[in-house]
């Protein structure tokens, strides 16, 4: 928190005063004082506020905040003003080459005529009748997490040097405020996820029979991740493979006949490498082992580890492509770590 405010007030006020007018400094401080409290409370309100703030300062008719969607592996609009969000979203999904101008991490300050030198940008400008636009990367450490796009001043004029001075003064503030909002959002989600896991742990501990524990694990996986398929595979040391102990959304025949060698398939690889594996499109992944009738598209597999021993693997699959995010992967991994300890205890208790 201390570092946040240290960075926030590092701006040289004297330098700002030399570049812009006093009334503009007042406007800038008003925008900051409005956005800063939001960044401690609500991520979406903060991003909405940044989008509307930039339009207010430059009197523009359009702005969009593009966030990187790790499910789609593409920058997509989180908020848009003056442009239909669904239309912008569909444009980028249909024109995947358009993501090329989001890869350099550089500021783009383009008029419609200059955009012709950038085919992807030109396509975007032409499709939405944009005359002048600025693309600005917003960084989190060394990673571009979002792009701020602002376009078309209401007076019809191009952005001038004075506009860019104000823009370059405001961008560091927007970056810090956005970073703060993301940090607090992650903290809140993490706290919620941990509380969710604690509740599940209490339920699992109360049921020490292996079948009941496994049935409850599958039930909770389906509920938490909203998936069409979930299974628990147990290690068969004798045959060096994974046996499907129980599954939801799979045919009985597939469950009975399938034995996955350690190191083969997504689940077998998760067991061998002792790490969670996330696949956005199983149809394009040669490792995927599934029922011939399967319509699944996304998969995650997490090893059940106790000490150094792999006792099994949790596996979930979904019809939707790119269903799982990096946050889902973290939660799934945490779920597997806790489930492994409780399931191992139940299996040992059952042998006594």
- Is 107 in the same domain as 158? yes
- Is 220 in the same domain as 85? no
Identify the weakest region by mean pLDDT among 54-68, 97-111, 123-137. Answer: 97-111
Q: Does 226 reside within a domain? A: yes
Tell me the pTM: 0.61
Residue 299 scores a pLDDT above 60? yes
Q: Does 193 reside within a domain? A: no
- Is 237 in the same domain as 274? yes
Residues in contact with 282: Cβ distance below 8 Å, sequence separation at least 6, in sequence order: 266, 288, 290, 296, 297, 298, 299, 317
pLDDT at 48: 82
- Dig out the tokens for 224 from the structure: 């938490």
Residue 109 scores a pLDDT above 80? no
Q: Write out pLDDT tens, residues 113-126.
A: 777 777 778 888 88
- Is 144 in the same domain as 265? no
Identify the weakest region by mean pLDDT among 49-53, 81-85, 125-129, 139-143. Answer: 139-143
pLDDT at 1: 45
Tokens 């597999």: give the residue.
301
Identify the weakest region by mean pLDDT among 26-30, 51-55, 106-110, 226-230. Answer: 26-30
Q: How many helices (H) and strands (E) does the chain have?
A: 11, 11
* Pairing mode, strands 108-111 and 298-306: unpaired
pLDDT at 207: 62
Q: Does 24 reside within a domain? A: yes
Residue 148 scores a pLDDT above 50? yes
> Which one of 133, 154, 185 terminates a domain?
185
- Is 98 in the same domain as 215? no
- Is 145 in the same domain as 221? no
Structure-model confidence comparison of residues 166 and 329, the more confident one: 329
Instruction: Tell me the angle at which helices 326-351 and 161-205 cross, rounded to the nearest 10 degrees.
Output: 10
- Is 178 in the same domain as 211? no
Identify the weakest region by mean pLDDT among 18-22, 120-124, 168-172, 220-224. Answer: 18-22
Q: Does 201 reside within a domain? A: no
> Which one of 150, 185, 220 terminates a domain?
185
- Is 34 in the same domain as 179? yes
Q: Does 37 reside within a domain? A: yes
Contact 335, 200 (CB under 8 A): yes
Question: What's the mean pLDDT when you consider all of the chain?
Answer: 79
pLDDT at 2: 45
CATH code, domain with 302: 3.30.450.40
What ranges in the chain are assigned the alpha helix state H?
2-8, 13-19, 22-39, 43-58, 85-94, 119-127, 161-205, 210-225, 252-257, 265-273, 326-351
- Is 228 in the same domain as 180? no
Report the domain count for the chain. 2
pLDDT at 24: 56
Q: Does 199 reside within a domain? A: no
- Classify each residue of 267-295 as buried b or exposed e, where b means 16 or more C-beta atoms within 10 Å of its C-beta: bbbbbeeeebbbbbebeeeebbebbeebe
20: DSSP letter: S
The parent domain of residue 267 ranges over: 207-351
pLDDT range class, residue 18, cuts 50, 70, 90: low
Q: Provide the 3-class DSSP secondary structure of residue 88.
A: helix
- Is 241 in the same domain as 147? no
Q: Does 320 reside within a domain? A: yes
pLDDT range class, residue 228, cuts 50, 70, 90: very high
Residue 240 scores a pLDDT above 90? yes
**Stretch 242-251: mean pLDDT, rounded?**
88
Residue 313 scores a pLDDT above 90? yes
- Is 254 in the same domain as 170? no
Q: Write out pLDDT tens, residues 159-174.
A: 888 788 777 777 777 8
- Is 221 in the same domain as 306? yes
């Amino acid at each position: 928190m201390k570092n946040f405010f240290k960075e926030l007030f590092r701006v040289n006020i004297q330098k700002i005063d030399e570049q812009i007018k006093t009334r503009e400094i007042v406007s800038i401080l008003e925008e900051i004082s409005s956005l800063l409290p939001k960044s401690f409370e609500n991520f979406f309100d903060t991003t909405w506020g940044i989008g509307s703030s930039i339009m207010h300062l430059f009197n523009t008719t359009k702005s969009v905040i593009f966030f990187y969607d790790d499910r789609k592996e593409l920058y997509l609009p989180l908020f848009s003003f003056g442009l239909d969000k669904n239309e912008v979203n569909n444009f980028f999904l249909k024109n995947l080459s358009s993501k090329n101008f989001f890869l350099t991490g550089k500021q783009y300050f383009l008029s419609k005529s200059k955009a012709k030198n950038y085919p992807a940008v030109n396509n975007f400008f032409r499709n939405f009748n944009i005359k002048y636009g600025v693309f600005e990367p917003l960084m989190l450490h060394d990673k571009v997490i979002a792009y701020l796009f602002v376009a078309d001043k209401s007076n019809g004029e191009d952005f001038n040097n004075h506009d860019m001075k104000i823009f370059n003064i405001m961008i560091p503030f927007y970056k810090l405020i956005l970073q703060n909002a993301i940090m607090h959002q992650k903290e809140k989600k993490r706290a919620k996820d941990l509380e969710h896991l604690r509740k599940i742990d209490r339920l699992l501990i109360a049921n020490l029979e292996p079948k009941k524990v496994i049935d409850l694990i599958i039930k909770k996986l389906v509920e938490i991740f909203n998936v069409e398929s979930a299974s628990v595979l147990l290690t068969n040391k004798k045959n060096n493979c994974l046996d499907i102990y129980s599954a939801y959304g799979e045919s009985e025949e597939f469950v009975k006949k399938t034995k996955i060698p350690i190191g083969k398939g997504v689940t077998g690889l998760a067991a061998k490498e002792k790490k969670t594996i996330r696949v956005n499109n199983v149809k394009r992944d040669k490792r995927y082992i599934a029922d011939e009738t399967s319509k699944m598209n996304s998969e995650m597999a997490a090893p059940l580890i106790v000490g150094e021993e792999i006792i099994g693997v949790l596996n979930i699959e979904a019809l939707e492509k790119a269903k799982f995010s990096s946050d889902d992967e973290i939660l799934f991994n945490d779920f597997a770590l806790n489930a492994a300890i409780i399931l191992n205890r139940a299996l040992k208790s059952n042998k006594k």
